[in-house]
Chain A
Amino acid sequence: MKEYSIVGKHVPRNDARAKATGSALYTDDMKLPGMLHGRLLRSPLAHARIVRIDTSRAESLPGVRCVITGEDTPKVKYGNWRLFPDTQDEYPLAVDKVRFIGDEVAAVAAVDLDTAEEALGLIEVEYEELPGVFDVDSAIREGAPVLHDYCPNNVSVNRKIQYGDIDKAFAESDYVREDVFTVHAVSPAYLEPCSAMAQSDLDGRITLWTSTQVPYIVQCLLASTLKMRENDIRVIKPYVGGGFGGKMELRAWEFCAAFMARKTGRPVKFTLSREEEFLAGRRRHAMKLYSKVGFKKDGTLTGKDLRIHLDGGAYNAMGPTATFLCGNFGAMLYRYPSYRFLGEHVYTNKPPASAMRGFGAPQSIFATETQMNIAAEELGIDPIEIRIKNAQVSGDEIPEVATVSSCGFIEALEKAAEMSGWKEKRKSLKDGRGIGIGCYSFISGGVFNWFNTQYPFSAAEVRVFGDGTAHLLTMAADIGQGCDTVLKQILCEELGLKMEDIRITSADTATTPQADLGAWGSRLTLMNGNAIVEAARKIKAQLFGTVSAKYNLNVIYDMECKNGRVYPANKPDRGMSFAEAVAMTQKANRGEPLVAFGYYTPRGKGLVTPAFSFGAQVAEVEVDKQTGIVEVKKFWTAHDCGTVVNPKAVEGQLEGAIQMGLGYTLSEQFIMDGGKTLNTHFLDYKMPNAMDMPPSEVAHIDTYEPEGPMGAKEAGEGLAIPTAPAIAEAVFHATGYRCRDLPITPEKILNGMEELPQAKSKPAARK
């Protein structure tokens, strides 16, 4: 591994001190003089026509400054897939119809929260209730209630992939199996509830502070829904308390804050309650997956046929991207000579599903990995052996999907086996104990441009100064994952400066360079990192010129910019400090500021991503056969994220991913009664706390990604994927119960054990 001076070193986060002392401001921490407080009225019905809304009583309540409904707005639909305007299916406030319990119907801005809350109760809405659909099977049935007129079969988006001759592959297989998997919806459950505050400037322009992962997308969609110009909207992302995919669209409260700020001339702030977040917030897609896979006797894969129905809820949200990615991920990890995919995104009268850590991959790969484990069992091959036999390697091309560049998958499998004592434990664990494996691959940002932007996907501006400092400006959004720190490290490495030499301004659409698509799909380290490297190299080229001129150096000399100095590589004494080089360059150019821009938009990298991460995770569990309760004893994870830029940040991502994966597998779920979410508090949502977390061991597999800055690629999002299949396999190993239906609950385990052949043959033994 190449040695760097700052990349790969322990560097505390840029914002850690502010966060540790409570001085870091999140959106809801801010207030402006004269600010009004907003609240949203939400639909109590899952599917209904709005007959009449009377806001007059609410408007006459003292302290209420503004009440709006969909009718008061410009009524422009929006959605993140601007390239396909048909998919833009959501109004900021409902027009004519509501489609899920929690759909936003009206908004109030008042002098204080209590008055705003009281006013909500005074708004009269007359609904004509319509029949609803609450699962994908009912929604695609002939004659099912239709959610959106443009989409009579409730299938809003589909995606197909096909390569190789799949029918021939199955005909020539020694072993073909078909399974149906169902996976459930879960909440991103970021700790910071969504919040947005807007101010209308004196010239009518809007400034919006908002808890978002995508300042640029919010800027553009806010402009379109308000019928304003993009550059008349300034979006600023303050500190954000986590997103995990749940904050990557324009949302009703952002629109309402801006619209009402314009209308009242006063700043307006909306902050959601936790109940609203659980009741109506975005979720990870529930899915039904039909997977057929073929093998040769020796375990070699012949092909895969995957169909998926995504339960999209009432609007598309990020569902089209999840549909697209499910198909790509279905073809990842292993070498499928033939592959067919059909993904369909289905509307139901439930809260919209959207992006959430893994973006289609946790669901798609749960099916892949569980089926791999079943096949290994039935073919009599060790689960790790069968994976190594079929594993993707560097240079593999997947038609319509991607080319795999750096790939440490086989090394990760071997390492996970070694760390966990796999071979021994598969044979010798006592009854009720089990060990299982799950793997993952994930993207380092997307190549697709469904947002239809004319700007580069990532951009950076670097300014350098005669005092030896630099200023990095980027629209990249740090939502807690730490990109402000990582991007500064990359700039430091390239310019040879120290962390304290760099000022960063990020995620302000009026002052940072256009554009950045946001913090999702694990894109920032690679894409923004590349933009920064390009900008820094332009700066260095100028500094090198200055140093060369001063020392009359032969043009063949390689130059370096390291440790605060600029010098020829093999004559370090003929150089000067970074500060001097900057000052001298400016003097040579009549004081012109020394500024450079860098951009990154992937091209020619397949259809999906410039680089994939890979990894393998082993879980050991103990299952209490009387109660069905699963205790995970330990996790071992080996992962390949290319060059590790910030080791503690990568470890932190991995440890956090285990918390989320553990919850997804064993405890977190929405309890639904038709379209109504019954568990709207952390208390009954049950995400793992500190007592629930098993110990875990990690190994980084050393690879170098040629497309990434200093060899880096995705870290953290993909790690949310392997935990569910690893635990499911370990539970099977411990009990014989094979989970095809997440989450794994004690009831399912006990019922599943009852149905096992040996349980049926000797029922007396258990009763």
Chain B
Amino acid sequence: MKQVIKLSVNGDPYTVAVDPCQTLNEVLREELNLTGVKLGCGSGDCGACTVHVDGRAVSSCLTLAVEMDGKEILTAEGLAPSGETLHPIQEAFIDKGAIQCGFCTCGMEMSALNLLQKNPSPTETEIREAISGNLCRCTGYTKIVEAISAAGEKMREGDR
């Protein structure tokens, strides 16, 4: 029996009829065509599907869609809504060479945002801890860590 939920995704309102067993990942990918939300494992191990729900990072593959009624969802597509100016995290990922195959990238960015919102000047260890639930097979994480650190700096400058 489908259930109708209303949710906000990247600032836009949506009304979606969902099956009780459907995940947030399926709704975002299949119904709303948000391709920045990946599915790497389906069991919450890889982090490629990370999105924010009411400002907190979650694995969208482990989140049931029916629980999302009234929630505010942010995905990587919502980081730079205009499409012209990128978010400092995205800029840093590009500039530092933190992107290779790119399959983990959007999830990494969402975990990075989760960290930087709470802790604008994290140490390297804190950054590594914050993305330890996001697996990457290409980069060895070095440039991702550098990018998050650089993004933090840029965001702090922006606040000043």
A contact set with B: CB distance below 8 Å? 10, 12-13, 15-26, 28-29, 188-193, 239-242, 244, 273-274, 479-482, 648-649, 651-652, 654-660, 681-683, 687, 689-691, 693, 696
Contacts and interface: CB of A to CB of B under 8 A. Distances in A.
B97 A13 contact: yes
B100 A21 contact: no
Contacts of B77: 21-23
Interface of B: 29, 34-43, 45-46, 48, 75-77, 79-80, 83, 86, 90, 93-97, 99-106, 109, 127-129, 131-145
A689 B99 contact: no
B100 A480 contact: yes
A3 B150 CA distance: 29
19 contacts: A16-B93, A17-B90, A26-B35, A26-B38, A189-B137, A190-B103, A191-B46, A240-B101, A242-B100, A274-B41, A480-B138, A654-B140, A656-B100, A689-B131, A689-B132, A689-B133, A690-B127, A690-B131, A693-B140
Contact of A12 (B40, B94, B139): B94
Contacts of A689: 131-135, 141
Nearest to A273: B42
Contacts of A687: 135, 137
B34 A690 contact: no
Contacts of B136: 191, 656, 659, 690
Determine which residue in B94, B104, B106, B131 has the highest number of CB atoms from chain A within 10 A of its CB, and name it. B94
B94 A652 contact: no
A29 B37 CA distance: 9
Contacts, number: 178
Contacts of A239: 101-102
The 3 lowest CB-CB distance pairs between A and B, nearest first, are: A22-B36, A480-B101, A241-B103
Contacts of B38: 26, 191-192, 241
A29 B28 CA distance: 11
Nearest to A190: B137
A651 B100 CA distance: 11
Contacts of A656: 100, 136-140
Given A190-B103, A241-B102, A274-B42, 11 more contacts: A16-B99, A20-B105, A23-B36, A188-B137, A189-B137, A192-B40, A481-B100, A648-B97, A649-B97, A655-B139, A659-B141
B40 to A, nearest CB: 5
A681 B45 contact: yes
A17 B94 contact: yes
A682 B135 contact: yes
B143 A193 contact: no
Contact of A20 (B34, B99, B138, B140): B99
A657 B105 CA distance: 18
Contact of B86 (A21, A189, A652): A21
Contacts of B142: 651, 655, 693, 696
B86 A190 contact: no
Contacts of B102: 15-16, 18-20, 24, 239, 241, 480
A25 B141 CA distance: 23
Contact of B94 (A20, A244, A481): A20
Determine which residue in A191, A482, A655 has the highest number of CB atoms from chain B within 10 A of its CB, and name it. A191
Determine which residue in B75, B86, B96, B99 has the highest number of CB atoms from chain A within 10 A of its CB, and name it. B99
A274 B48 CA distance: 12
B90 A20 contact: yes
Contact of A25 (B35, B96, B140): B35
A13 B99 contact: yes
Nearest to B143: A652
